[in-house]
Amino acid sequence: MECRPGCGACCIAPSISSPIPGMPHGKPTGERCVQLSVDMLCMIFGQPDRPLVCGGFAADPEVCGDSSEEAIRLIGWWEQATSVA
């Protein structure tokens, strides 16, 4: 599956524990990454300071669903289902 243009769900829904430029402690679940542009594109895509976890994300219908809204919901569900208490 190819990423949907203008989706950005993977930059909003999950937590990211790795440092991100502008977010040295990562980002919490549901918070928009500061590197997500108004066009919903990663502003550090392909750059060496982009977290490895971001580069390793692959769009998949099971995670991304059929819309950006569904992707936010599904990624949020996966985040809760896989988080360690």
Q: Encode pLDDT of 21-47 as tens digits.
A: 999 999 999 999 999 999 999 999 999
* CB-CB contact of 41 with 28 (8 Å): no
Residue 4 resides in a domain: no
- Asked if residue 5 has pLDDT above 80, the reply is yes
pLDDT at 80 (0 to 100): 87
| Residue range(s) defining the domain that contains residue 78 | 9-82
Give the separation between CA 83 and CA 65, rounded to whole angstroms.
Answer: 21
Q: Which residues are within 8 A (CB) of 61 and not within 5 positions of it... i.e. 6 or more apart?
A: 1
Residue 73 resides in a domain: yes
Per the prediction, the chain carries an average pLDDT of 93
- This prediction's pTM: 0.88
pLDDT at 85 (0 to 100): 60
Number of domains in the chain: 1
Average pLDDT in the 67-75 region?
A: 95
